[in-house]
Amino acid sequence: MPYINIRLGRNLDQEQRNLLYEKTTSLMNTVMRKRPEVAVVHIQESESQQWSVNSTSIAAKDPVAAYVDIKVTDGTNSPSEKAEMISQTVKMLQDVVGIIQEACYVVIDDIPADSWGYNGKTQAERASSKL
């Protein structure tokens, strides 16, 4: 049950949004082994000048500012899977939105299974009911 929040310092067209939804969900499935039917992708767009790097506001002509936060259940992915996801996420952003800021961060948050869930059950409850 991954939740992926993609924040961008540029407004996208619907085709770009759709590509990010599709490609992010696919990466979560192929790299992180997450089921597509429970993968949630949230895109937040803002004006470039609302971002700064090294205390300098980013202009519209500059590379796109980006930050991606991926939440997964703790212990469900290996360090190599996470490294591959981070690498592939940056590549995906470059393919879809163009040149991005060097200071583009992808964060994978490992959340304890008893601290999050969906449809009214924690991940720990879901795992114990499968036993």
**Domains of the chain: total:** 1
**In a 3-state reduction of DSSP, which class is residue 85?**
helix
* Strands, E assignment, the chain: 3-8, 40-45, 52-53, 56-57, 66-73, 105-111, 117-118, 121-122
Please tell me the predicted confidence (pLDDT) of residue 67.
98
Mean pLDDT, rounded, for 43-61: 96
Please tell me the predicted confidence (pLDDT) of residue 119.
87
> For residue 11, what are the contacts with CB-CB under 8 A and spacing of at least 6?
45, 47
Please tell me the predicted confidence (pLDDT) of residue 128.
86
Q: How confident is the model at residue 2 (pLDDT cuts 50, 70, 90)?
A: very high
Does 131 score more than 70 pLDDT?
Answer: no
For residue 54, the domain's CATH number is 3.30.429.10
**What residues make up the domain containing 108?**
3-129
CA 71 to chain centre: 8
Does 107 score more than 80 pLDDT?
Answer: yes
